[in-house]
Chain A
Amino acid sequence: MRWEAVIGIEVHVQLKTVSKMFTRVAYRYGAPPNTLTNPVVLGLPGTLPVLNRAAVERAIQVGLILGCEIPPECKWDRKNYFYPDMSKNYQISQYDQPLCVGGSVEIELPGPSRNVMGEHRRIQLTRIHLEEDVAKSTHFGDYSLIDFNRAGCPLIEIVSEPEIHSAEEAAAYLNALRMNLSFAGISDCDMEKGQLRCDANISIRPEGSNELFKRTEVKNLNSVSGVRAALEFERRRQREVVEAGGTVAQETRHWNELQGYSVALRSKEEAHDYRYFPDPDLMPVRIGNDLLEQLRKNLPEMPFDKQRRYIDEYGLPFTVTSVICRNRGLSLFFEEALAHCERPRELANFVVNDLRREMAAAGIDSPSESRISARQLAALVRLIDEGTISKQSGQDVFTEIFESGGDVAEIIDEKGLRQSTDSAEIELICKTVIDDHAKPAAQFRSGKEGAINFLKGQVMRLTRGKADPAKVDQILRSLLRQ
C-alpha cells in the first residue's frame, strides 16, 4: 500500500518591533540576560498590559500579504498554563477571534533542474493570531535558568490547514513564508535566533483516502533541514507502526536534531485544559477599512508576483529573477535603475553578477550599504549600450564606483576609457598595422579568414582597447579588400 502524509504546520514568527507586545521596553536579540525587562515583562503583581500598535499593524500586514480575511474586530484572550518561561503563567493570545482568518501561502517546489521553475502550489491557512513570546529557559542537570529578555516579544502564530503532503512541501512552505515575511520587513525570520519556530502535526493515510488517522505533533523544529528530517522520520515511523498492525498514538513528540530522531513526551490529563477566557485587562481592536488600505499601500510587491512580472514584462530568465526577486534590496535597486535605463537584461546581469559579487566581498546585505547608486548603474549600462565604453571597462568602472562612489562619466574620462569613435584615426592605425604585417595580410587576402584576428589584436593593442572591435573589423576588411 502507498501511504500519504497529511501535515499541518504551526509557525511562530517574531515581529520586528522596537518594543514588546504589551509593554514599551526594548527587545533585541543577543542582549545580556535579563537586561530587557520591566515590571510588566516579569509579571510583577499589579502590572497591566498595553498593546503595541505597531505589532498589530505588522500582523495585519502579514494577513494582507497572505490574502487572509481581516475580521473587523479581534480580541485578546488568556491561555492559562503553568511553565517557568511564562511570567504570568498565562499567555496573552487570541482564541476565538484572531486577527486574520484564512489566506494561503504560495510555495515553489524544486524544479526539474536548477534553471527551470518548479511547480507552484498554494497551502491554505486556517488563521493567524498575535500573541506574546515566552522567556528563554536553559536546562542544566538539576536546575534551569530563565532569561526574560525574549518574554513578551510580539509573536504571530500562522496555522496551516493539513494540506502539506511531504517533507519537501513542508520545507518549501517554510521557505516561502520566510521569503515573504523577510522581504516585507516583518521579521528577519532567522531560525537560529529563534525568530521563526515551527511545530508540525503529521498523520499518514493510504494514498487517495480521505480517512483521518491519529496524528502526532512534532516539536522543536529549529531549521528547515530539521523540519524535513523530522517529518521524514515521523512518516516512516508511523508507516512502520501501521504496517506492523499497530495504531499511531496521538501524542506530542520532541525532535532531537543532533541524533535525528524524535521521542514521545508524557502528557498529563490536564495538559490541554488551557481555560481560555477574554483578557479583562485589554480592550478589543477594531480594524477599519482606512487602516487596512493604508497598511496595504505600504506593502511591497511580493516575491513570486514580482518574479512573474519580471519574466513576463522584461523577459528575464528564471534563475536571474529568482535571485533578484527574493531580495528586497536587490529588487529595489534593479527597479530604480530600470527607471533610468530600459535595459532589463543588462541591468539584471550587473545586479546578479557584479553587484552580488561585490556585496559578498564587502560583506554587506543590501546595496544601500554600498556607495553605488541605481542611477549610476543605469548610466553605466547606457554608456555600454551606446558603445561609449566596452563591457570590460564597464565592469571595472562598476567595481570602482561600488567601492569609492563617484560619477560614471567622470571616471570614464579620468581613466580615458571612452571608446575611440574617430574613424580616421582608427583607419590610420589599421593601415599601419597592415603595412607592418604583410604576411597575415596576404594570408587573409588569399582566403585564410582567421588571419584577420591577429591584425585586429594589433589594432586593439595600439588603441589600448578604446576602439570598438566591430568597427575595427569593418575597417580592416575594407582596407584589405582594396
Chain B
Amino acid sequence: MSELYYESAYSLSSRLRAGEISSEAVTEAVIQRYHEVESRIRAYLSVDESDALAQARASDRRRAGGEALGPLDGIPVSLKDIIAVAGQPLTCASKILESFVSPYDATVTRRLKEAGSVIWGRLNMDEFAMGSSTENSAFQTTRNPWDTTRVPGGSSGGSAASVAAGESVLALGSDTGGSIRQPAAHCGVVGLKPTYGLVSRYGLVAFASSLDQIGPVGRSVEDVAMLLQVIAGHDPLDSTSFQTSIPDFLESLRGESDPWKLGVPKEYLGEGLDGQVRESVQSAIQFYADDVGCEIREISLPLTDLAVPVYYIIATAEASSNLARYDGVRYGYRSENVNDHLDLYFRSRGEGFGAEVKRRIILGTYALSSGYYDAYYLRAQKVRTLIRKDFLDAFASVDAIISPVAPTPAFVIGERLSDPLSMYLSDIYTLSVNLSGLPAISIPGGFSREGLPIGIQLIGKPFDESRLLAMAYRFEQDHPYSRMRPGI
C-alpha cells in the first residue's frame, strides 16, 4: 500500500470503518504532503490546517461513539474556490473577491458537512472559471504535477492538480464547458461532469448558469462515485435542480450489464486532434470492442464545429449578467477615491477583473445588446437546440459516446495566453456536453511520449451517471493509468 495521502477514498473509508486509521492521521498526512509539494504545484488559494484537523478529530469522536455519518466521514475533500463555505474566503481567484468571506454554505458544502467529510483547502482556478489552463487566476498559476512547466488545465486546475499530487484525497470542481474533465485529463485523474440538474448549484458562484455543474474529481472511479453520492440530489434552493431518484453509484460499478453500445463521433477524431491522443482514444475503443464486447458504432455530430461559437456566445452572455453584481457596493473590491457611483462601478470593475473576464464580459454584453441579440444570443440558443438534438438522436442507437477530452495533452505555461480564440477552440470536445446538459466523465487513458497524461471522455444519456461510472470502472480495472503517480 502506498502512502496514506495517495490512498483512495474507498480504501481509506474501509480502513477508517475498521478502526485501522484515524481521520486525524489521514488529514495530517494530506497536510504533510501539502507542505511537501505545494510550493511546486501551487494548487491552493487558502487552507486552514487547524480547522481541518478539528473536523478530523470531530469525525474520529463520532466514529468512536458509533455515530459515523457515512462512507465519507473523516475523508478530506478540497473545494474549488468557487463553492461557498460559511466563514471561509470565496475568491473565485479574482481580485474583485479577494477579501470576500462567505456568510453561507453552498448546498454541496452542507451535504459534505452532513456526510462528515473534512473540508480541507480552497483550490485555485481560472478567474470565475473562465479559462482552460488556470493561468487566468489573479493570484497564481497552478502547475501540472506531471510536468511543472505545463498547465494543469482548467478551469478546475487546482482540483485536478491537488488530487494528482496527493494534496487532497478528493476535490470538487465545476464544469461549464469542460472545466472538470479537461484538467482531470491533463493531470491523469478522474473527473465527472454530472447531468445538468443532478447537483445543486446553490452556492456555486455562477459563470454561465445554464451550463454550470459541480462535479467530483478523484484518483479512481470508485472515489468519484462516492463523492457524487454525497453531492447529488434535489435541492429546493436551486430551481433548476431535478427531482430524480439517486442510485447507489458504488454498487452500480460492479453490477452486471449487457455489453454496451458505444458511439464514436467521427467529427471528434478528425483534423486538429493530436496523434497520440487519437491513438489513446482508438485503443480505448478497441478495448471496449474486444475485451468488453461492446458494439461500436460510428455516429455523426454534424454541428460540432458550431459548438465553440454557440457556447461562447451563451456562456459569455450569461456571464456578463452574472458578473454584474461585482460592483464594489455590497462586498468585494472597491476602487479608492472615486467621485460618484458611476466612477465606483467603472473603476472597481476595471481594476478588479482580470483580462479574460473583462474580455468575456465585453463579448457577452455585446451579444445581448440592442441590435445584436437576435443575431447572436437568440440564434445561439436555437443552434443549441439543434446541437442537443443531435446528441439525443445519437443516444437512440448508442448507450454512450466515447471521445477525446482535449485535442492535445497539457500545454506549456504561457504558450496560448495571447491567443484567446485558439484557447477557446481547444474546448471543442467538451463544450457540447454542457450545451446539451449531458453527463460525461474523463478517465486516464494513457500517456504521451513526454509522459503527459491523456484523458478519455465518455458521454452519457441524461441522468445515466451509473452507466458512465460502470463503463469507466471497467476500463480502469484493465488499465494501470489511474494507479500511476507523478514524480513530484
A contacts, CB < 8 Å to B? 39, 42-51, 78, 80, 82, 84, 87-90, 144, 146, 272-273, 275-277, 280-283
Stretch at the interface among B154-162, B179-187, B369-377, B450-458: B369-377
How would you classify the secondary structure of chain B's contact residues: helix, strand, loop or mixed? loop
Residue in A39, A45, A282 with the greatest tally of chain B CB atoms within 10 Å: A45
Alpha-carbon distance A144/B340, docked complex (angstroms) = 10
Check B373 against A48 for contact (C-beta < 8 Å). Answer: no
Q: Please determine whether A82 and B327 come into contact, CB atoms closer than 8 angstroms.
A: yes
Point out the residue from A80, A276, A281 that lies within 8 Å of B209, measured CB to CB: A281
Kindly list the 5 A-B residue pairs having the minimum CB-CB distance in the complex, ordered from nearest: A89-B324, A275-B368, A280-B210, A280-B209, A45-B205
Contact yes or no, B202 A48, CB < 8 A: yes
Q: CA A125 – CA B440 in complex, angstroms? A: 49
In the bound complex, do residue A80 and residue B324 qualify as a contact, i.e. CB atoms below 8 Å apart? yes
Measured between C-beta atoms, what is the minimum distance from A55 to chain B in Å? Answer: 14
Contact (A48, B84) CB under 8 Å given A273-B370, A277-B368: no
Residues in A with CB closer than 8 Å to B327 are 82, 84, 89
| A45-B84, A48-B201 known; A282-B239 Cβ under 8 A | yes
CB pair B325–A89 under 8 Å, yes or no, is yes
CB < 8 Å neighbour of A45 from B90, B236, B368: B90
Residues of B within 8 A of A146 (CB): 329
> From B330, which residue of chain A is reached at the shortest CB distance?
A42
Residues of B within 8 A of A82 (CB): 324, 327, 345
B104 touches A277 (CB 8 A): no
B318 within 8 A of A: yes
Write out the residue numbers on chain A whose beta carbons fall within 8 Å of the beta carbon of B368. 80, 275-277
Q: Is B341 part of the binding interface, using a Cβ–Cβ cutoff of 8 Å?
A: yes
Assess the B239–A90 pair: CB atoms within 8 A: no
Q: Which residue of B lies closest to A78 (CB)?
A: B321
A46 touching B321 by the CB < 8 A rule? no
Expressed in whole angstroms, the Cα–Cα distance for A47 and B203 within the complex equals 6
Enumerate chain B residues within 8 angstroms of A44, measured Cβ to Cβ: 84, 102-104, 330-331
Besides A44-B103, A45-B206, A47-B202, 4 other CB < 8 A contacts? A43-B325, A45-B90, A46-B204, A276-B368
Contacts of A90 in B (CB 8 A): 321, 324
- Bound-state CA distance A89–B323 (Å) is 9
Q: In the bound complex, how far is the Cα of B217 from the Cα of A477, in angstroms?
A: 109
CA distance A45 to B90 in the complex (A): 9
**B362: interface (CB < 8 Å):** no
11 CB < 8 A contacts A-B: A42-B331, A44-B330, A45-B325, A46-B84, A82-B324, A82-B327, A82-B345, A277-B318, A277-B368, A280-B240, A283-B240
Enumerate chain A residues within 8 angstroms of B326, measured Cβ to Cβ.
45
Residue count of chain B within 8 Å CB distance of chain A: 44
**Shortest CB–CB separation between residue B370 and chain A, in angstroms?**
5
Docked-complex contact A87 and B317, CB < 8 angstroms: no
One of A42, A276, A281 near B240 (C-beta < 8 A): A281
Cα–Cα, bound, A42→B100 (Å): 14
Chain B min CB distance to A445 (Å):
92
What are the interface flags for B99-112 relative to A under an 8 Å C-beta threshold, 1 for contact and 0 otherwise? 01011101000000
- B209's nearest neighbour on chain A, judged by CB, is A280
Residues of chain B with a CB closer than 8 A to A281's CB: 206, 209, 239-240
Hey, which chain B residues are within 8 Å of A45, CB to CB?
Answer: 84, 90, 92, 97, 100, 102, 205-206, 325-326
The answer for the CA separation of A46 and B331 in the assembled complex, in Å, is: 13
The chain A residue with its CB closest to the CB of B128 is: A45
Contacts of A49 in B (CB 8 A): 239
Q: Which of B110-160 contact A (CB under 8 A)?
A: none
- A39-B103, A43-B330, A46-B202 given as contacts; is B373 within 8 A of A275 (CB)? yes
Q: How far is the CA of A90 from the CA of B84 in the complex (A)?
A: 22
A277 touches B97 (CB 8 A): no
Q: Restricting to B205-224, which residues have a CB under 8 Å from any CB of A?
A: 205-206, 208-210
Asked if B248 CB lies within 8 Å of chain A CBs, one says no
B466 interface hit (Cβ, 8 Å): no
Measured between beta carbons, the chain B residues less than 8 angstroms from A46 are 82-84, 90, 102, 106, 201-206
Is the Cβ of B206 less than 8 Å from the Cβ of A50? no
Contact between B90 and A277 (Cβ–Cβ < 8 Å)?
no
**Chain B residues within 8 Å of A43, by CB:** 325, 330
Inside 8 A of B100's CB, which chain A residues have their CB? 45
Flag if B84 contacts A277 (CB, 8 Å): no
Q: Nearest chain-A residue to B340 (Cβ)?
A: A142
A278 to chain B, nearest CB (A): 8
Q: For A50, what are the chain B residues with a Cβ–Cβ distance below 8 Å?
A: 236-239
Q: Which residues of A contact B104 (CB under 8 A)?
A: 39, 44
Min CB–CB distance B112 → chain A (angstroms): 15
Complex contacts, B208 vs chain A, CB 8 Å: 280
Assembled-state Cα–Cα distance A144/B82 (Å): 31
The CA of A46 and the CA of B85, in the complex, are separated in Å by 11
Provide the bound-state CA to CA distance between A206 and B90, in Å.
Answer: 62
Contacting residues, chain B, for A80 (C-beta < 8 A)? 320-321, 324, 368
For residue B197, give the distance in angstroms from its CB to the closest CB of chain A.
10
A293 to B106, CA, bound (A): 39
A88 and B324 form a contact (CB under 8 A)? yes
Q: Cα distance A473–B382 when bound, in Å?
A: 92
Q: Kindly list chain B residues whose C-beta atoms are within 8 Å of the C-beta of A88.
A: 324-325
Chain A nearest CB, measured from B436 CB (Å): 15
> Is B442 an interface position by the 8 A CB rule?
no
User: Does A277 lie within 8 Å of B317, measured CB to CB?
Assistant: yes
Q: Please tell me if B430 contacts chain A, counting CB pairs below 8 Å.
A: no
Q: Which among A43, A47, A50 has the highest number of chain B CB atoms within 10 Å?
A: A47
Chain A residues contacting B210 (CB-CB under 8 Å) are 280
Q: Is B482 an interface residue (CB 8 A)?
A: no
Chain B residues closer than 8 Å to A277, beta-carbon distance? 317-318, 321, 368, 373, 377
Q: Report which of A39, A48, A78, A89 forms a contact with B239, defined as CB distance below 8 A.
A: A48
Q: For residue B106, which residue of chain A has the nearest CB?
A: A46
A39-B104, A84-B329 known; A144 vs B341 contact (CB < 8 Å): yes
Are the CB atoms of A87 and B325 closer together than 8 Å? yes
CB-defined interface of B356-367 with A at 8 Å, one 1/0 digit per residue? 000000000100
* Residue contact A48 to B237, C-beta cutoff 8 Å: yes
Tell whether, in the assembled complex, residue A280 and residue B103 are in contact, meaning their CB atoms are under 8 Å apart: no
Distance in angstroms between the alpha carbons of A48 and B84 in the assembled complex: 13
- When distances are taken between beta carbons in the complex, the residues of chain A under 8 Å from B330 are 42-44, 87
Residues of A within 8 A of B329 (CB): 84, 146
Q: Could you say which residues of chain B place their CB within 8 Å of the CB of A48? A: 201-202, 237-240
Q: How far is the CA of A387 from the CA of B413 in the complex (A)?
A: 103
Q: Contact string, B306-347, partner A, CB cutoff 8 A, digits 1/0?
A: 000000000001101100111101110000000001000100
CB closest chain-A residue, reference B210? A280
Measured CB to CB, the closest approach of chain B to A56, in angstroms, equals: 13
Q: A79 CB to closest chain B CB, in angstroms?
A: 10
A51-B239, A82-B327, A146-B329 known; A275 and B202 CB under 8 Å? no
> What's the minimum C-beta distance from A444 to chain B, rounded to whole angstroms?
87
Q: Which chain B residue lies CB-closest to A50? A: B239
Query: Taking the nearest CB of chain A, how far is it from the CB of B485, in angstroms?
Result: 34
Closest chain-A Cβ to B273's Cβ sits at a distance in Å of: 32
A315 to B61 Cα, complex, angstroms: 81
How many Å lie between the Cα of A78 and that of B377 in the bound state?
A: 14
Chain A: minimal CB distance from B53 (Å):
27
Q: In whole angstroms, how far apart are the Cα atoms of A109 and B320 in the complex?
A: 48
Please give, as numbers and ranges, the residues of chain B lying within 8 Å of A282 by CB-CB distance.
239
Residues of B within 8 A of A272 (CB): 370
